Amino acid sequence: MPIPVILDCDPGTDDAVAIMLALASPELTVLAITVAGGNVGLNSTLPNTLALTALANSTVPVHAGADRPLIGQFVSEPRVHGADGLGGVVLPPGGSPTPGLAADVIRRILRDAAEPVTLIGIGPATNLALALTTEPTLTTKVKQIVLMSGAWAEGNVTPAAEFNAWSDPEGLAILLACGRPVVFATLELTAQALTTPARIATWRTRGNGRCLRAICDIQSTVPLSPRFSSLGAPLHDPCAVAWLIRPELFTARDCSVRMDLGPGPSRGRTLIDRWNRTGDPLNATVLETVDAVGLFELLGERLALLP
């Protein structure tokens, strides 16, 4: 039976791949895609999502969500994703968002669900946190929360914090406290999934569909990361989606995870206790390794299924 999911995103060059993977995969039923400001403002992430779903001929409803975190100010990340969020690759415009704001729609879907729903978060946690904190009894309808978020060592937006966790740390803390299983694809995991020019070239050999071509074009704009000797760039968000589709590609460890919510330089850090030094309850599963060859094969195979 397919896994019912809600995908919350902020496209984003890697969100674009994650969206396509989710839409192309029969293992998942995407009930809705909800959008937040993140990599770039909501005024770009929303049309980007609509353009991507239209390109895939998808009828999954797309809903606008938060344009800022629960606390503090919105800050974008144009260095990786370009000013428009998709590296300057222009897609045909999509349609209009479906009426209903993200948090309201997430609550409605959970309320009406016959079976628990998996929440996938690949942007700031604001939409998911708003939904769960405004009607906490609905958490019983959440099967699990699968996130691309956090890091157990150093961050990417500050020395301490990963971008999604740092963008809305209070939102992420709400998810961690909600009592449902939380799964983390951290920076250490996504560092193993480097998009390289050779891997993009291999994807291109799989077909000539417009979605495959668009994703290859978008990924080609992502700067090669000096953190990885400029060999490639981490393909973060698809790791969270791929874990649901092919968990056997990953290894994982149960950990306790807490947020640094302080105002100082480590704000947004995910304190991931991989060796149970604190003895705190194990409230999260942290993905530790991924078979990158298998992951990129899966992505190529699924992208080639799309129009």
Q: Which residues are catalytic?
A: 236
- Which position among 44, 58, 164, 256 is part of the footprint of ligand BDR (CB under 6 A)? 164
Under 8 Å between Cβ of 148 and 240: yes
- Which position among 12, 85, 94, 124 is part of the footprint of Ca ion (CB under 5 A)? 12
Under 8 Å between Cβ of 36 and 123: yes
Under 8 Å between Cβ of 151 and 65: no
Under 8 Å between Cβ of 180 and 283: no
User: For tokens 């990786």, what's the residue?
Assistant: 80
| Closer residue to ligand BDR, CB minimum distance, 51 or 138 | 51
148 lies in the binding site for ligand BDR (CB under 6 A): yes
Under 8 Å between Cβ of 207 and 305: no
127 lies in the binding site for ligand BDR (CB under 6 A): no
Give the bridge partners for 120, in sequence order. 7, 146
| Closer residue to Ca ion, CB minimum distance, 86 or 245 | 86
162 lies in the binding site for ligand BDR (CB under 6 A): yes
Positions in 197-256 near Ca ion (CB under 5 A): 237
Positions in 235-254 near ligand BDR (CB under 6 A): 236-237
- Six token digits for residue 214: 């668009």
Residues 6 or more apart from 248 whose CB is under 8 A from it?
none
- Which position among 6, 7, 15, 200 is part of the footprint of ligand BDR (CB under 6 A)? 15
Closest approach, Cβ 95 to Ca ion, in A, equals 22
Under 8 Å between Cβ of 222 and 249: no
287 lies in the binding site for ligand BDR (CB under 6 A): no
Vertex 101 angle, CA 99 and 107, to 5°: 110
Under 8 Å between Cβ of 235 and 203: no
- Which position among 30, 122, 182, 211 is part of the footprint of Ca ion (CB under 5 A)? 122
94 lies in the binding site for ligand BDR (CB under 6 A): no
- Given the rule CB under 5 A, which residues bind Ca ion? 10, 12, 15, 122-123, 237
Residues lying near ligand BDR in the complex (CB under 6 A) are found at: 12, 14-15, 39, 77, 80, 122-123, 148, 156, 162-164, 236-237
